[in-house]
Structure 1
Amino acid sequence: MQFLVYILIYPFLYIISILPFRLLYMLSDVLFGFVYYIIGYRRKTVRHNLRLVFPEKSEKEINAIAKKFFHHLCDMILESIKSLTISEAEITKRFQFKHIEEIHKLEKANRSIVLMCAHYANFEWIFIAQRFVNHKGYGVYKRLENKYFDRLIKRIRAKYNTDLITTKETIPTLTETKKRGELTINGFISDQSPKANKAFHWKEFMGIKVPVHTGAEMLAKKLDMSVVFFAVKKVKRGYYETTFKTLAVNPKDFKNYDITDQFLKLVEQQIYEAPEYYLWTHKRWKHKDKVPAKFQ
């Protein structure tokens, strides 16, 4: 059944991927109308999240941000599909890097690197960074249920020397690379919500106390990897700029969760500057009323 779904859907994805960007964004505009007005995909969730973190904004302002967000979401979905066939020249033109020297400094110091980012702007195209760094790349991801699409995603990333590994594979894989003396750069999307009963740390995020993932920081300390934050900024439709900021060269010098807290503050800055590019469909604040006594 999985293979049947794959062979039925893949041709449509491929056709979309070879569209010129002008037509791609025309299709995105149509998709927006379908997703926002007809299906109403998670529209209530998005508005609820926006009201929670921006209580000072009017309903008109909330609705305006929500619409801009759904426009961006549709763009990002189609840009992700475009990854199937986009040329290296095209993607390097559209996804540029500032302060890449932060990575190069750590490479020269023979430091492996943990890259932390949020669900903000187009985080999908970061894999092209492998063309500008020397370390072997790994990206932590959630395996797709359909094994054929899962293989496809891995194959796309592998074109640029990045291997995708699941959360369960992360520690054994990176421990083994360390034993071999291999230097790596490892991407973590670290702003999602962990299960409340398994959280080691709770912190205010956008003014609301929530459980936060600390896995990237803990792994960096365990394997002695430097930590770098990368922020993606949407310059204009189809064009992005990524900035790197070193959070910790030697993470063991920091108290537990200090690096994670730094990361969250930087993510907040991104959101306040342009809230429409954050992934508001996530139920990020669903545990806000379940704060354990020891974290209050």
Structure 2
Amino acid sequence: MQLLAYIILYPILWLISILPFRLLYGLSDVFHFFIFRIFKYRKKVVKSNLRLVFPDKSMEEIEDICCKFYHHLCDMILEAIKSMTISEASMMKRYKFTNLELIHDLEEKKKSIMLMCAHYGSWEWIFILQPQINHKGYAVYKKLANKYFDKLVKRIRAKYDSYLITTKETYKVLEKSQKKGELTINGFASDQSPKIRENLHWNKFMGIKVPMHTGAETIAKQFDMAVVFFSVKRIKRGYYQTTFQTITESPNNFKDFEITDNFFRLVEEQILEEPQYYLWTHKRWKHKDRYEEFSN
């Protein structure tokens, strides 16, 4: 069944990917109508999240953010498909970096990088960074259920020398790279909700106490990596601007969870500035009522 689904869907995705951007975003508008108005995909989750973190906003303001979010979500889905065939030159024109010198400076210092980000703005095109730097690029991801689409996603990233690795593979891969003397830049989307367990770190995110992923911080300390945050700003439809910000070059000088807390503060700043570009469909605050249960 996995192969059949791939055989049926791949040609459709490829045809979408070769559409010029004007038609691509026209298709995105159609998708928005069906996803937002007809199917109402996770709309209850989105509105519940927005009401939770923005209790002072009116229902009209919540609805406005919600509608804009779904427009952006549809654009991102189509842009991810566009990754199949988009040229390197076109992507570089549309996804720009304001301060690449920060990465180059860390290279001169022989520092590998833990690149922390959130599900904000656009993270699908970040791999265009790779042709512009000398660090070897890895991104930690959750393996897709369909092995054929999983290979496709890996192949798309690999054409820009950026490689996807699972959480279980991360330590061994990075340990091997370190022994070979390679400098690596390692992308972690660290804002998702972790599996609930007793030894999690809890802190406030958008005013709500929740468990937090600390894997990026842990690995950065184990391999003495510089920790860098990247923020994404949407300039206009299909155009993004990314800025790097060093959290620390010496992670082991920080107390446990301090790096993680600093990361979430930076994520909050983005969200508060333009909330429509955060991924509100995720149930990020689903464990908000369980802190007392796991704090004893």
Residue correspondence of structure 1 range 128-139 to structure 2 within 5 A: 128-139=128-139
The range that moved more, 285-294 or 87-96, is 285-294
1:217 aligned partner: 217
In 2, distance between residues paired with 1:198 and 1:176?
31
Contact kept in structure 1, 2:226 and 2:249, CA below 8 Å: yes
In 2, distance between residues paired with 1:107 and 1:198?
38
Contact kept in structure 1, 2:233 and 2:242, CA below 8 Å: yes
AA partner of residue 250 (structure 1): S
Structure 1 residue 200, shift from structure 2 partner: 2.3
In 1, distance between residues paired with 2:9 and 2:18?
15
For this pair of structures, how many residues does the alignment match?
296
1:281 aligned partner: 281
Structure 1 residue 50, shift from structure 2 partner: 0.2
1:117 aligned partner: 117
Structure 1 residue 179, shift from structure 2 partner: 1.2
Deviations 1:106-141 (A, max 9, x none): 100001110000000111100000011101100100
2:93 aligned partner: 93
Structure 1 residue 243, shift from structure 2 partner: 0.2
In 2, distance between residues paired with 1:29 and 1:218?
41
Residue correspondence of structure 1 range 171-210 to structure 2 within 5 A: 171-210=171-210
AA partner of residue 73 (structure 2): L
AA partner of residue 64 (structure 2): A
In 2, distance between residues paired with 1:179 and 1:172?
11
Deviations 1:179-199 (A, max 9, x none): 111110000000001122155
2:269 aligned partner: 269
Contact kept in structure 1, 2:198 and 2:294, CA below 8 Å: no
Contact kept in structure 1, 2:139 and 2:164, CA below 8 Å: yes
AA partner of residue 9 (structure 2): I
AA partner of residue 144 (structure 1): L
Structure 1 unaligned spans of 5+ = none
Deviations 1:151-197 (A, max 9, x none): 11000000111110000000111111111111100000000011221
Give the 3 Å change call, closer, same or farther, for CA 221–74 of structure 1 in structure 2: same
Contact kept in structure 2, 1:217 and 1:257, CA below 8 Å: yes
Asked whether 1:19 is paired with 2:12, we answer no
2:249 aligned partner: 249
Provide TM-score, normalisation by structure 1.
Answer: 0.98
1:258 aligned partner: 258
Give 3-state SS (helix, strand or coil) of 2:288's partner.
coil
AA partner of residue 117 (structure 1): C
Give the 3 Å change call, closer, same or farther, for CA 10–295 of structure 1 in structure 2: same
Identity across the alignment (%): 63
**RMSD over aligned Cα, in angstroms?**
1.1
Contact kept in structure 2, 1:136 and 1:162, CA below 8 Å: yes
Give 3-state SS (helix, strand or coil) of 2:219's partner.
helix
Runs of 4+ aligned structure 1 residues displaced above 6 Å come to none
In 2, distance between residues paired with 1:94 and 1:244?
17
Residue correspondence of structure 1 range 156-167 to structure 2 within 5 A: 156-167=156-167
Deviations 1:236-282 (A, max 9, x none): 11000000001110100111111111110000000000000000000
Give 3-state SS (helix, strand or coil) of 1:124's partner.
coil
Give the 3 Å change call, closer, same or farther, for CA 295–101 of structure 1 in structure 2: farther
Structure 2 unaligned spans of 5+ = none
2:233 aligned partner: 233
In 1, distance between residues paired with 2:198 and 2:12?
40
Give 3-state SS (helix, strand or coil) of 1:103's partner.
helix
Contact kept in structure 2, 1:17 and 1:86, CA below 8 Å: yes
Deviations 1:198-224 (A, max 9, x none): 552101000000000000000000111
In 1, distance between residues paired with 2:109 and 2:82?
36
Give the 3 Å change call, closer, same or farther, for CA 152–250 of structure 1 in structure 2: same
In 2, distance between residues paired with 1:293 and 1:281?
26
The range that moved more, 28-37 or 193-202, is 193-202
In 2, distance between residues paired with 1:178 and 1:230?
23
AA partner of residue 119 (structure 2): H
In 2, distance between residues paired with 1:2 and 1:43?
28
1:49 aligned partner: 49
In 2, distance between residues paired with 1:59 and 1:95?
34
Give 3-state SS (helix, strand or coil) of 2:130's partner.
helix
2:62 aligned partner: 62
Provide TM-score, normalisation by structure 2.
Answer: 0.98
In 1, distance between residues paired with 2:38 and 2:293?
43
